[in-house]
Structure 1
Amino acid sequence: MSRLRRLLVPVAVAGVAAGALAVPASAAPAPTCDTTSASYTYVVLYQPGASQRTVDTELAAKCGTKVAYYPEIGVAIASSRNADFADRIGVLRAYSGGKDVAAKAAARAGLRSAVGMLEQTESVAAGDDLSAQQWDMRAIHAPEANKVNQGSQSVTVGVLDSGIDAKHPALAHAVDAGASAGCNTGAPDTAAASWLPTTSDHGTHVAGTIAGRDASRGFTGIAPGVRLASVKVVNDDGYIFPEAAVCGFMWAGKHRFPVTNNSYYIDPGMFYCRNEAGDAAAYEAVRRAVTYSTEHGTLNIAAAGNSGFDVRTQTVDPNRPHKVDASCGILPKSIDGVVTVSAVGYAGTKSYYSNYGSVTVTAPGGDSGQKPPAGQGAGCPLSTIFNGGYGTKCGTSMASPHAAGVAALLASTHRHAPPRALSALLTAEADPVACDVSACQGPEQNNSYYGRGLVNALDAVR
């Protein structure tokens, strides 16, 4: 689902760590902490390799409690009731997405509602012929690929999303409970209740596109032979906060998933700026986690976004009132090594809602204005939903798992290929799509709308 940028705070963090170690806990005066206000979760930056003691000592001294600590990347997850916790730690080192959302709840609710409308599920009647409605699979030659290679069970795709319904007839064969975890607290929880879906079928829909298989209904995903790990990073309110993403990428890297799918942007974004208070900590925490996963063999694939703009020319964050410049990016897709996927509809042209400008490849995400012929389904891709059912959704969220499924086939046919090699194969075997409007810039082989082209499942297994 990185740009190897210079770390934002090594000197400052080193100073804090050294100070924390230099003063015995018994000599430090007890802090006056808020015990009644709402508690929020923060990502907090340390030097990679900083000790647990260093983290525990500083957090306790500044009215925080450790939830999790990832020493490999120097990122702690902490909770605090103190409104000034980030100020105590340092605003370039600590950030809470939940606290930010609470402060701007009314404005954010409208944006979240708009996203929900685009990706709303439309159920499909039980008696329908599902294979005939899978135009998206035919567009990338998945049926032909399935006849050659359906993917290897030794390949696990991490679905960082809202959870996967492991009892769905098309998914029960694929979901690996032992590799699944809930990450919404920032610490991995392997209890089934933490990674199963609750309020959203989004992750279940994504999972079906990657590896679904239901012969009784004629439904087949791109790589039905691979395994799926449900890594739940979306909370019941529909938010993906930095601490959940950090946990998810660390889980993927530690379990060496060859591929992850990330059909989201990290809230409350949209853009995080490396030089801005608060944002800097979130950006760096996610960057470190993504980089860790990449270095441990994971190719991360992410949706381009559904705002319909060129990400390179944005000057204002539509979700938060701050300026956007070259130091800003949408997470996780702006991190080096992440494959970014735009969406096309049935006609093969960019979906009206799809972001563009920094795109690696494109894939079917659907478009209500590009309708298939009668009998070939709706304009949005069909996949698995709650209660063993099937339904359609549109969005770059639906395009991204098409690319992840093809990457899973590549990982099956090129065992132990590192992430950059898989990414190179994915782009080399994509079918170039030429620009069709003036807003699209670049040659057929690599342009702002379609990147290197439409992913091709058949080429991945030949």
Structure 2
Amino acid sequence: MSRLRRLLVPVAVAGVTAGVVAVPAAAATPSCDTTSTPYSYVVLYQPGDPQRVVDTELAAKCGTRVAYYPEIGVAVASSRNADFADRIGVKRAYSGGKDIAAKAAARSGMRSAVGALEQTQTLAAGNDLSAQQWDMRAIHAPEANKIDQGSGSVTVGVLDSGIDPAHPALAKAVDPRSSTGCITGAPDPTAWKPTNSDHGTHVAGTIAGKDAARGFTGIAPGVRLASVKVVNDDGYIFPESAVCGFVWAAQHGFQVTNNSYYIDPGMFYCRNESGDAAAYEAVRRAVTYSTQRGTLNVAAAGNSAFDVTKQTKDPNRPHRIDSTCSILPGAIDGVVTVSAIGYAGTKSSYSNYGAVTVTAPGGDSGQRPPSGQGEGCTLSTVFNGGYGTMCGTSMASPHAAGVAALLASKHRNAPPQALTALLTAQADPISCDASACVGPKQNNSYYGHGLVDALDAVH
């Protein structure tokens, strides 16, 4: 994750009553903008509010419904009106796209959240790639594969830029019936394939890829993959796309999701800040809903090389942050957050820390393996049936998701909380090795509970 960029309880939100949103029965037809660029918004309602209430209010305030998720009381709306959020209530509505457009002059300071810190899109040398998979050996995946490669009844949702179903290592794993596009905030089962980014394809190969001809094997090649496309062609993941993705995962019975991103356009969202409050709550409700429905969500910690608990400024947006502000979705209760290590087994130079559950190989160009054992970054699947290396907590997160998939395969019907307990209990503890790292070996700010272990997961 870099440049390419918590039981559900109704929460009182400014502008929302304890029941439904009150809309005048005979409201006058508003004067609505019909020519300006439309933007998408997440809009908060009370869980269970009927769709007619949503449609009535949106129409009265110059918006149209794109999607509505009554289970969590979150709508996705489109409006051309610049004052749409003000009409709805700024703590009930937010648009990431409009936020970016409004700050276009400073866009160089706004980075999209998905991507790899470093990437090489060239084919790996040699026919047998297994020797170059130092990351798999680090977590004992080859030994685990000899015992259990995961169950086909387990689905891992890859919320990302899409998965290439034609790649020889992924063709048997990708399930088109469970896949969907979520770019607009509404599910589109025809729009889950990648377009201009193979980030999701690389992530997918780490989780469940298998190519016997090239000697490449992921962590859990026996499980199914669902491509849930949440990254647009500019590399952004807006709140409405993430909401759609988590609800889709919940309603389609995914046991695990991988989320190698943070919600754009800001890095931190603040629960008490106008606009941010709506986005934070919408994503929180969606993640919590999926957890309640049996999905374990795994997320990347981020690539800014800082302690996420001690930041006072958002590097992507000019606003101060405090204890009410968090990186989403990783900070939401129940999400497993993953930091990255390199070949030497120490924290990758770029990896965030401070609120970490576990760690996993994400690579580091400064921690190079011996000759013949690959590059400093991790090897996986890329476009055109190829293989390439990428570095980032984006690459660490799918290692943890793959081990979680093995646990879900062995412990059928185990709830997310139980899978998390197993994942952390079986992790191999790593002691602090720098002054910035605080905490005991069993749970510290750099490595959380330790390095995920695929072999322990199948025993």
Normalising by structure 2, report the TM-score: 0.96
- Are 2:292 and 1:295 equivalent residues in the alignment? yes
CA separation of 1:3 and 1:311: change in aligned 2, threshold 3 A? farther
Per-residue CA deviation, residues 335-373 of structure 1 (Å, 9 max, x unaligned), is: 000000000000000000000000000000000100000
CA separation of 1:243 and 1:67: change in aligned 2, threshold 3 A? same
Partner of 2:16, secondary structure, is helix
**Cα separation, 2, equivalents of 1:110 and 1:318:** 8
Give 1:270-281 correspondences, 5 Å limit: 270-281=267-278
- Are 2:246 and 1:243 equivalent residues in the alignment? no
CA separation of 1:341 and 1:114: change in aligned 2, threshold 3 A? closer
Kept in 2, the 8 Å contact 1:86–1:95? The answer is yes
Question: Aligned-pair distance for 1:103?
Answer: 1.5
- Are 2:171 and 1:172 equivalent residues in the alignment? yes
**What is residue 94 of structure 2 aligned with on the other side?**
95
CA separation of 1:160 and 1:451: change in aligned 2, threshold 3 A? same
Q: RMSD between aligned alpha carbons?
A: 1.7
Give 1:323-338 correspondences, 5 Å limit: 323-338=320-335
**What is residue 39 of structure 1 aligned with on the other side?**
38
Question: Aligned-pair distance for 1:12?
Answer: 2.9
**Cα separation, 1, equivalents of 2:133 and 2:255:** 26
Give the % identical residues. Answer: 78
Question: Aligned-pair distance for 1:107?
Answer: 3.2
The residue identity in structure 1 corresponding to 2:22 is G
Partner of 1:123, secondary structure, is coil
Question: Aligned-pair distance for 1:6?
Answer: 7.3
Give 1:28-427 correspondences, 5 Å limit: 28-112=27-111, 118-125=117-124, 127-191=126-190, 194-427=191-424
CA separation of 1:158 and 1:117: change in aligned 2, threshold 3 A? closer
Per-residue CA deviation, residues 47-77 of structure 1 (Å, 9 max, x unaligned), is: 1100111000000000000000000000000
- Are 2:11 and 1:7 equivalent residues in the alignment? yes
Question: Aligned-pair distance for 1:99?
Answer: 0.3
Kept in 2, the 8 Å contact 1:299–1:337? The answer is yes
Partner of 1:383, secondary structure, is strand
Kept in 1, the 8 Å contact 2:113–2:262? The answer is no
Per-residue CA deviation, residues 97-126 of structure 1 (Å, 9 max, x unaligned), is: 000011123433455389757243342346
**What is residue 449 of structure 2 aligned with on the other side?**
452
CA separation of 1:303 and 1:113: change in aligned 2, threshold 3 A? closer
**Cα separation, 2, equivalents of 1:51 and 1:346:** 53
Partner of 1:19, secondary structure, is coil
Per-residue CA deviation, residues 210-250 of structure 1 (Å, 9 max, x unaligned), is: 00000000000000000000000000000000000000000
**Cα separation, 2, equivalents of 1:215 and 1:443:** 41
Kept in 1, the 8 Å contact 2:116–2:199? The answer is no
CA separation of 1:144 and 1:319: change in aligned 2, threshold 3 A? same
**Cα separation, 1, equivalents of 2:21 and 2:115:** 47
Partner of 1:68, secondary structure, is strand
The residue identity in structure 1 corresponding to 2:294 is G
**Cα separation, 1, equivalents of 2:125 and 2:370:** 20
Kept in 2, the 8 Å contact 1:155–1:258? The answer is yes
**Cα separation, 1, equivalents of 2:114 and 2:334:** 26
The residue identity in structure 2 corresponding to 1:19 is A
Structure 1 residue ranges without an equivalent (≥5): none
The residue identity in structure 2 corresponding to 1:378 is E
Per-residue CA deviation, residues 405-430 of structure 1 (Å, 9 max, x unaligned), is: 00000000000000000000000000
Kept in 2, the 8 Å contact 1:43–1:243? The answer is yes
Kept in 2, the 8 Å contact 1:4–1:336? The answer is no
Partner of 2:220, secondary structure, is coil
Question: Aligned-pair distance for 1:376?
Answer: 0.2
The residue identity in structure 2 corresponding to 1:414 is H
Among candidates 17, 22, 35, match of residue 19 of structure 1? 22
**Cα separation, 2, equivalents of 1:118 and 1:18:** 44
**Cα separation, 1, equivalents of 2:56 and 2:115:** 42
Question: Aligned-pair distance for 1:127?
Answer: 3.4
Question: Aligned-pair distance for 1:436?
Answer: 0.6
Structure 2 residue ranges without an equivalent (≥5): 1-5
Equivalences, count: 455
**Cα separation, 1, equivalents of 2:51 and 2:109:** 40
Partner of 1:12, secondary structure, is coil
Kept in 2, the 8 Å contact 1:174–1:224? The answer is yes
CA separation of 1:456 and 1:343: change in aligned 2, threshold 3 A? same
Partner of 2:17, secondary structure, is helix
The residue identity in structure 2 corresponding to 1:284 is E
Partner of 1:127, secondary structure, is coil
**Cα separation, 1, equivalents of 2:431 and 2:39:** 47
**Cα separation, 2, equivalents of 1:3 and 1:394:** 35
Question: Aligned-pair distance for 1:265?
Answer: 0.2
Kept in 2, the 8 Å contact 1:3–1:336? The answer is no
Kept in 1, the 8 Å contact 2:114–2:231? The answer is no
CA separation of 1:435 and 1:4: change in aligned 2, threshold 3 A? farther
Question: Aligned-pair distance for 1:81?
Answer: 0.2
The residue identity in structure 1 corresponding to 2:11 is L
